[in-house]
Every structure is written in C-alpha cells, then in structure tokens.
C-alpha cells in the first residue's frame, strides 16, 4: 500500500545519515538539536509535534533539527559542544561515558523499550526459549537492537551461540523479517508497522518483560547543564508536552504530526496505528513523565559490563539527571 511504501523508505533512511531543517520559529534563542536519524522518522514525533504546536516557541526556543550518525555520534558531538543538545537511547550515556564523553540523559521519553522482539507466527516461537536454533535480524552488532537481543535471550538462559544473529542494516533488519528469510527481528514500532502493512502475522514480545531495555532519551553535556540549565529545562518540558499529546490522543496527535512532516500528508490514519504501538510498548510506565529510573540504569549497565559491551562501569548518578522533568 502507498503508506507502507512511504514508511519503508523512511525507515530505510532512518538510521542512515540524513536530516531536516525546521521551519523558522518565533522563538528567541536558537537551539541546534541533533537527532540520530532523519527528523521525519515517526519515532521523533514528540519533537516534531512540540515544534508544530509551538511548545518550543512558548519556551523561547527556536529549535533546528540536524542529523548525526546514530546515538553515539550524537553523544560525541554534544559532548564536545558541536550541538547544545541531542537525542539517543536511554543507555547511550552507559556506552559513552567510559570513553570520556561527558553526556547524560536529561529526559527519558517513556518507561518502555524502543525495540521489541517480534517473531513470525509461522515459526513456532511462542516463548523466548523457542529462539534456540532460530535466525534473528538486528541492525548491527554494536547497537541497541543487538544488545536487546542478547539481554532478552540471556533472561531465559540462552547465549549468542544459541541463535543465528544476523546484522542486516537499517533496511535488512525488517525486510528479511517481512520476506520470511529470518524467524524473528528486534524492531522498533515503525518496522513493526511495516510488517503489519505487509500482512505478516507475528507475535510481539515486550522487551521490558525480559530485559531493562530503554526508550529514547534527551542528551546533554555536563558543561551545558551547568552553563545553561534554563535551556535544558525549557527544551525537555516542551518535548514532554509533545509526548503527552501523543499518549493522550494518538489520533489527534497524528493530525498535528502530518502537518509537521509533509512527507506523511494524508497518512494520519496509518500514523495513528504506529503511535498506538508506541503507546503500548514504549511510552507508558513512568511515575513522572520523562523520569529516569536509576535502578533500571544500574541493571542495564551491569548486564552491559558482564556481556563485554563496556569495559568499565560509571557511577549511576553520572549517567542521568531528573532535575529538568518537573
């Protein structure tokens, strides 16, 4: 269908290097916000709605979105001051601070996981243990999809060698799944939506039931937090308003979203479906919207350390701050 083709094109570009310049705002303070993928990807709807509905402008901010080469690159650029603020996954600070990159999460966009385990219904995968001997697609061996695959499998006593993990790239990860060339994938709601559009019958395993995987996060450097806490607070608060709109009424928010992102014009209905997936698996679950859970961070860091994804741990209090969410 027309929407599926458009979403496929967007998702293929999502992890590749691309970007978007926002329309001129009525704000006073110019802010460069680095995204890990193109701004038109549905995952960034909270930010796009915040701009479309004037939430940033109301906070005195003129926000321009620029691209980066993934969440780690965002952290590097923000860490050295090439951008005031940016976005990644909630685990990004765990991965980069051991390498001397002084960034932390200042707002977590949901209490669930950005990625889920999705199995084809015709492959006999009714529980995680059934992944043994199966083929699973991930984006790469050094990203959240792979880390989540290992955490989910480990929760049920499986190791990397118990399944065939294929790093298929930003397009292949969902394309192989849709074509039936793999048994399961670790995917974001955008890719799950593509599979639904292709009429693939599937079973979705909520990653949070097995592993402390995280949602997207807003990242800032220690220096910027000290230098301009007002900017950080204003941006976090405005973005959370966009997220709340999506959570409260996905259909109405979808109408605002397609106005903000012209490539999705006339696609409000399908976008509503995508946002409902986020509303089920990614966005809910926080006591206070935007709040980072230090116990979850500690648990995730412990797993990354044991799995060899990081060489040393960082004090949990250096990985985040919740001071800007209220």
Domain boundaries, the chain: 2-112+214-318, 116-209
Alpha helix (H) residue ranges in the chain: 2-14, 45-52, 55-58, 71-79, 92-96, 144-154, 169-178, 189-197, 222-227, 229-248, 250-260, 268-281, 294-307
Per-residue pLDDT, 23: 39
Q: Do 2-112+214-318 and 116-209 fold alike per CATH?
A: yes
Per-residue pLDDT, 10: 52
Per-residue pLDDT, 212: 96
Per-residue pLDDT, 19: 33
Quick one: tokens of 139?
């984006």
In CATH, which superfamily holds the domain spanning 2-112+214-318? Periplasmic binding protein-like II (3.40.190.10)
Per-residue pLDDT, 170: 82
Tell me: the pLDDT tens digits for 64-95? Answer: 999 888 888 999 999 999 999 999 999 999 99
Per-residue pLDDT, 169: 86
User: How many CA atoms does the CB half-sphere of 197 hold within 13 Å?
Assistant: 21
Per-residue pLDDT, 7: 54
Tell me: the pLDDT tens digits for 277-325? Answer: 999 999 999 999 999 999 999 999 999 999 999 999 999 999 999 999 9
Tell me what the pLDDT averaged over the chain comes to.
91
In CATH, which superfamily holds the domain spanning 116-209? Periplasmic binding protein-like II (3.40.190.10)
CB 301 within 8 A of CB 319: yes
The ranges of the chain with pLDDT < 50 are 1, 3, 9, 12-27
Per-residue pLDDT, 69: 85
Cα(244)–Cα(55) distance, integer angstroms: 12
Per-residue pLDDT, 5: 53
Long-range contacts of 79-82 (CB under 8 A, 24+ apart): 79/103, 79/221, 81/221, 81/223, 81/224
SS3 assignment, position 46: helix
Q: What is the DSSP string of 90-119?
A: TTHHHHHGGGT--EEEEEES-SS-S-EEEE
């Amino acid at each position: 269908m027309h929407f599926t083709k458009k979403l496929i094109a967007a998702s293929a570009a999502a992890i590749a290097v691309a970007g978007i310049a926002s329309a001129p705002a009525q704000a006073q303070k110019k802010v460069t916000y680095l995204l890990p993928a193109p701004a038109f990807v549905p995952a960034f709807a909270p930010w796009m709605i915040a701009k479309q509905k004037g939430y940033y402008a109301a906070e005195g901010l003129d926000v321009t979105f620029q691209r980066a080469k993934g969440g780690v690159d965002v952290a590097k650029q923000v860490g050295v001051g090439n951008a005031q603020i940016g976005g990644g996954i909630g685990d990004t600070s765990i991965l980069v601070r051991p390498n001397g990159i002084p960034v932390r999460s200042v707002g977590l966009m949901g209490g669930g996981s950005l990625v889920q385990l999705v199995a084809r219904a015709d492959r006999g995968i009714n529980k995680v243990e059934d992944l043994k001997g199966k083929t699973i697609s991930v984006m790469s061996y050094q990203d959240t999809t792979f880390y989540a695959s290992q955490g989910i499998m480990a929760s049920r006593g499986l190791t990397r060698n118990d399944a065939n993990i294929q790093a298929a790239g930003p397009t292949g990860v969902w394309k192989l799944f849709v074509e039936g060339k793999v048994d399961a994938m670790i995917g974001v709601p955008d890719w799950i939506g593509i599979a639904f559009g292709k009429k693939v019958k599937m079973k979705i395993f909520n990653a949070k039931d097995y592993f402390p995987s995280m949602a997207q996060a807003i990242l800032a450097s220690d220096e910027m937090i000290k230098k301009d806490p007002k900017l950080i607070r204003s941006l976090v608060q405005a973005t959370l308003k966009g997220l709340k709109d999506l959570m409260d009424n996905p259909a109405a928010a979808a109408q605002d979203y397609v106005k903000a992102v012209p490539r999705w014009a006339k696609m409000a209905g399908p976008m509503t479906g995508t946002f409902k997936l986020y509303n089920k698996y990614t966005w809910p679950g926080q006591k206070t919207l935007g709040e980072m859970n230090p116990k979850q961070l500690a648990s995730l860091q412990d797993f990354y350390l044991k799995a060899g994804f990081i060489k040393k741990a960082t004090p949990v209090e250096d990985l985040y701050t919740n001071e800007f969410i209220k």
